[in-house]
């Protein structure tokens, strides 16, 4: 049961989950400090922190720097400020004073008003039942009249997280680029400001809006970890700051430099949620907490098992038609595929990437009778039908653009830079958003579509809105809000429709899009060896049940590497399995083995997708992940080994979180293992000597 307690005498609020507390302190100058974030404390224990000696002499700084939860710019604070504004008269300093506090067992709102200017700043805190995550956001409101003019919001971070003093600080994040996303990095946190950001209008391949901090000694299984993640799918900025005074904060919010946002009199700005979590027991426990949070509080259909899908993209590219798609669908169905997804190339003049985007009607030469013959056949084969769309985009060579050249993001006197021959529709315009929604709604209503792959292949450039009323910069936020509104409305009106978020891979992967999608395409790079690293980084925050992974051809069309079919399957089996190869080119032996491997996945996928994930530490270059059923009665282990060295056999792989007193039966071999032995000595592995070998072991607990 979450709890929030208040000690008015000391100006303290303490917000506690099952294993952690977050303590706020309002000082005499009405500065709201983050006093504690870590193991659970009582109010008394928290109050004792107020007697701690002030840090040493600091003649050139305000000791509040690096300690503020409501981190407003002003006075002698020179560090990064989470809230920065500019009033019409040029004043930038803020002097907030608490005017109201409302609280329940799980929510707290502290309302501050500037001492002079017409600005309200509210900090919102929400504890989620049964977990140690704290959701935060900020609301700014211009309470003045026309004479006050607009207030420019320069920065409105959703949260500034104040870290406790640690012996040292290490920052974990993911970095990447197209086809090489979500690669984990752990680096000592340097002094100064470490900024990760997206200025692209999407979450981005280059960084993902989350960070974890530890003291440099945490491992997969040991040590406290502080983490936070932003629920936002547009531009963002995360600032991890280490001051010379050894105070550390992590501040995160939407928007990027130098974009600002004008608040007109009476207007408000509500930031997206930033979620924070303190965990003990290492990065593995931190990931499990995030996975549970995504399941319990973010996803709309967390208990559904995602189907095995087939996607035609790597097989056919733009060269598609009804006959070819039906042929692939029949082959896919024979392998046990449950959802057939037709990718790009089915509409308008889209025979390559230079034309047709925006014209969402089936190409009459490729689909003379519309989509129905294909969809009907796919359904007849017992599969769901999925369709690729890229609704926020337009090719200049399209009927849509010819009719509405003003609908795209553009600036006067500036070029319209094309990327992949396309431009971005300005969804911040209500007419454009309404048109996009209308087309998609029509598509889904008129055709029996079960699944949309919603793609977005182009970052914002020349992001202008020349005829905007008011501040054109608001397009950065309004585009994302409009995207969310379209997705929310489509999902409400078509409750059986499921959605995959894609942005040339995982360019739009975040907690905001996950509230409106059922899975995310993890990367355009389907090379199984590269995927091990990409998926390892993905798993730090996001659960396997949202991670789309396909088995494609060998040699891989992107990297040219050849990898055995079993290995390709087992790598994809650590997420939501899909097939994406050209099945017309697969031989009978390959197809027969593929059917077996699909069946193997289906037998274990409830564990992979809905179970608790433990990344195991194998020896050498062995990567292994264990998935445990919530009731502990079954577990699956996927082990992947790139190369055997020196002829040494694989060491048994110690498993996690089993009942030491129980015995577990291997469903494939019938071998029975003791829980205590699996936990200490490990699961014997019988991997072949070849490179890229793998296994999926499914263990079921024997009745007592």
CB of 505 to ligand DGJ, least distance (A): 5
> Which sign, positive or negative, has the C-alpha torsion 457, 460, 466, 468?
positive
Longest dimension (CA), the chain: 80
The residue from 132, 181, 262, 343 that contacts ligand DGJ (CB under 6 A) is 343
Rg for the chain (alpha carbons), in Å? 27
395, 354 contact by CB (below 8 A):
yes
Task: Give the helix, strand, coil percentages of the chain, each rounded to 5.
Answer: 25, 30, 45
455 labelled catalytic: yes
CB of 529 to ligand DGJ, least distance (A): 19
Closest CB to ligand DGJ among 141 and 525? 525
502 binds ligand DGJ (CB under 6 A): yes
The residue from 37, 388, 538, 569 that contacts ligand DGJ (CB under 6 A) is 388
Closest CB to ligand DGJ among 508 and 644? 508
The residue from 504, 552, 574, 626 that contacts ligand DGJ (CB under 6 A) is 504
Binding mask 603-642 for ligand DGJ (x = CB under 6 A): ----------------------------------------
Rounded Cα distance, 553 and 533, in Å: 19
Q: Which residue is nearest to ligand DGJ (CB)?
A: 344
505 binds ligand DGJ (CB under 6 A): yes
Rounded Cα distance, 427 and 409, in Å: 9
Rounded Cα distance, 116 and 94, in Å: 9
| Residue-wise DSSP of 220-250 | SSSS-EEEEEE--SS-EEEEEEE-TTS-EEE
CA 322 to each of CA 82, 120, 319, 362: distance values in angstroms, whole numbers, following the listed order: 54, 58, 11, 10
Closest CB to ligand DGJ among 141 and 457? 457
CA 57 to each of CA 166, 246, 283, 439: distance values in angstroms, whole numbers, following the listed order: 20, 14, 36, 64
Q: Is 337 helix (H, G, I), strand (E, B) or coil?
A: coil
Q: Total binding residues for ligand DGJ by CB under 6 A? A: 11
344 binds ligand DGJ (CB under 6 A): yes
Query: Which residues on adjacent β-strands are paired with residue 263?
Result: 151
CB of 564 to ligand DGJ, least distance (A): 23
The residue from 455, 530, 566, 634 that contacts ligand DGJ (CB under 6 A) is 455
Tell me the angle at which helices 322-334 and 372-380 cross, rounded to the nearest 10 degrees: 10
457 binds ligand DGJ (CB under 6 A): yes
CB of 519 to ligand DGJ, least distance (A): 13
Closest CB to ligand DGJ among 395 and 626? 395
Closest CB to ligand DGJ among 69 and 500? 500
Q: Among the candidate windows 190-198, 432-440, 501-509, 639-647, which touches ligand DGJ by CB under 6 A?
A: 501-509
Q: Tell which positions 508-567 bind ligand DGJ, by CB under 6 A.
A: 521, 524
434, 176 contact by CB (below 8 A):
no
Q: Among the candidate windows 103-111, 166-174, 426-434, 497-505, which touches ligand DGJ by CB under 6 A?
A: 497-505
467 labelled catalytic: no
Q: Using the structure block, give the residue that is written with the tokens 């790079």.
A: 525
682, 655 contact by CB (below 8 A):
yes
Candidate list 524, 527, 530, 566, residue with the active-site label: 524
CB of 345 to ligand DGJ, least distance (A): 8
CB of 209 to ligand DGJ, least distance (A): 20
Closest CB to ligand DGJ among 160 and 523? 523
Candidate list 281, 455, 510, 553, residue with the active-site label: 455
What torsion, rounded to 10 degrees, do the Cα atoms 210, 216, 217, 221 define?
A: 10
Which two structure tokens, joined as six digits, stand for 423? 């431009």
The residue from 232, 236, 283, 313 that contacts ligand DGJ (CB under 6 A) is 313
* Cβ contacts of 588-597, under 8 Å, gap ≥ 24: 590/565, 591/331, 591/334, 591/335, 593/565, 593/566, 594/335, 594/551, 594/565, 594/569, 595/334, 595/335, 595/336, 597/551, 597/565, 597/566, 597/569, 597/570, 597/573
Q: Among the candidate windows 37-45, 78-86, 257-265, 500-508, which touches ligand DGJ by CB under 6 A?
A: 500-508
CB of 394 to ligand DGJ, least distance (A): 14
Closest CB to ligand DGJ among 270 and 318? 318
Rounded Cα distance, 704 and 701, in Å: 9
Closest CB to ligand DGJ among 503 and 626? 503
Which parts of this chain interact with ligand DGJ (CB under 6 A)?
313, 343-344, 388, 455, 457, 502, 504-505, 521, 524
As annotated, the active-site residues are: 455, 524
């Amino acid at each position: 049961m979450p709890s929030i307690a208040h000690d008015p005498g000391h100006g303290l609020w303490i917000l506690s989950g099952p294993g952690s507390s977050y303590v706020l302190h309002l000082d005499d100058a009405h500065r709201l400090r983050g006093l504690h974030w870590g193991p659970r404390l009582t109010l008394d224990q928290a109050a004792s922190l107020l007697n701690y000696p002030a840090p040493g002499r600091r003649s050139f700084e305000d000791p509040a720097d690096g300690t503020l939860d409501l981190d407003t710019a002003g006075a002698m604070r020179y560090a990064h400020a989470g809230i920065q504004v500019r009033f019409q008269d040029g004043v930038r300093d803020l002097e907030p004073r608490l005017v109201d506090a409302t609280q329940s067992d799980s929510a707290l709102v502290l309302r501050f008003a500037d001492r002079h200017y017409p600005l309200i700043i509210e900090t919102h805190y929400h504890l989620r039942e049964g977990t140690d995550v704290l959701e935060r956001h900020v609301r700014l409101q211009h309470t003045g009249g026309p004479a006050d003019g607009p207030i420019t919001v320069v920065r409105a971070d959703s949260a500034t997280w104040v870290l406790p003093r640690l012996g040292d600080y290490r920052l974990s994040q993911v970095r990447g680029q197209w086809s090489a996303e979500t690669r984990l990095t752990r680096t000592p946190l340097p002094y100064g400001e470490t900024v990760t950001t997206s200025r692209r209008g999407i979450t981005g391949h280059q960084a993902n809006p989350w960070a974890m901090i530890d003291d440099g000694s945490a491992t997969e299984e040991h040590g406290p970890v502080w983490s936070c993640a932003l629920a936002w799918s547009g531009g963002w900025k995360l600032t991890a700051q280490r001051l010379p005074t050894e105070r550390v904060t992590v501040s995160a919010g939407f928007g990027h430099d130098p974009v600002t946002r004008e608040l007109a009199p009476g207007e408000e700005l509500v930031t997206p949620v930033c979620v924070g979590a303190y965990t003990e027991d290492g990065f593995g426990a931190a990931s499990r907490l995030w996975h549970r949070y995504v399941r319990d509080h973010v996803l709309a259909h967390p208990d559904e098992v995602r189907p095995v899908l087939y996607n035609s993209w790597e097989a056919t590219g733009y060269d598609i038609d009804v006959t070819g798609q039906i042929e692939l669908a029949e082959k896919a169905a024979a392998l046990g595929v449950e959802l057939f997804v037709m990718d790009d190339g089915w509409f308008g003049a889209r025979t390559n990437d230079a034309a047709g985007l925006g014209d969402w009607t089936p190409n009459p030469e490729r689909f003379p009778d519309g989509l129905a013959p294909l969809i009907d056949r796919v359904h007849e084969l017992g599969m769901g039908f999925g369709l690729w769309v890229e609704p926020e985009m337009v090719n200049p060579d399209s009927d849509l653009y010819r009719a509405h050249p003003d609908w795209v993001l553009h600036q006067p006197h500036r070029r319209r830079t094309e990327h992949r021959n396309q431009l971005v529709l300005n969804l911040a315009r209500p007419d454009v958003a309404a048109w996009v929604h209308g087309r998609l709604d029509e598509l889904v209503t008129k055709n029996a579509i079960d699944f949309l792959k919603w793609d977005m292949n182009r970052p914002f450039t020349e992001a202008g809105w020349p005829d905007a009323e008011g501040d054109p910069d608001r397009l950065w936020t309004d585009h994302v809000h409009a995207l969310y509104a379209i997705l929310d409305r489509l999902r409400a009106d078509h409750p059986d429709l499921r959605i995959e978020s894609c942005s040339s891979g995982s360019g739009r992967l975040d907690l905001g899009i996950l509230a409106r999608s059922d899975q995310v395409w993890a990367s355009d790079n389907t090379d199984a060896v590269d995927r091990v690293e990409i998926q390892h980084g993905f798993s730090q925050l996001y659960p396997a049940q949202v991670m789309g992974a396909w088995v494609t051809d060998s040699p891989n069309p992107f990297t040219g590497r050849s990898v055995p079919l079993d290995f390709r399957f087992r790598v994809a089996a650590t997420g939501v399995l899909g097939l994406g190869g050209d099945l017309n080119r697969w031989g009978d032996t390959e197809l027969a083995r593929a059917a077996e491997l699909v069946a193997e996945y289906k037998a274990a996928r409830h564990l992979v997708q809905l179970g608790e994930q433990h990344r195991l530490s194998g020896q050498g270059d062995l990567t292994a992940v264990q998935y445990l059923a919530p009731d502990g009665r079954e577990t699956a282990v996927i082990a992947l080994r790139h190369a055997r060295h020196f002829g040494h056999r694989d060491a048994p792989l110690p498993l996690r979180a089993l009942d030491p007193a129980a015995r577990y039966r291997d469903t494939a071999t019938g071998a029975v293992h003791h829980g205590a032995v699996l936990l200490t000595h490990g699961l014997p592995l019988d991997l072949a000597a070849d490179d890229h070998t793998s296994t999926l072991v499914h263990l079921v607990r024997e009745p007592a």
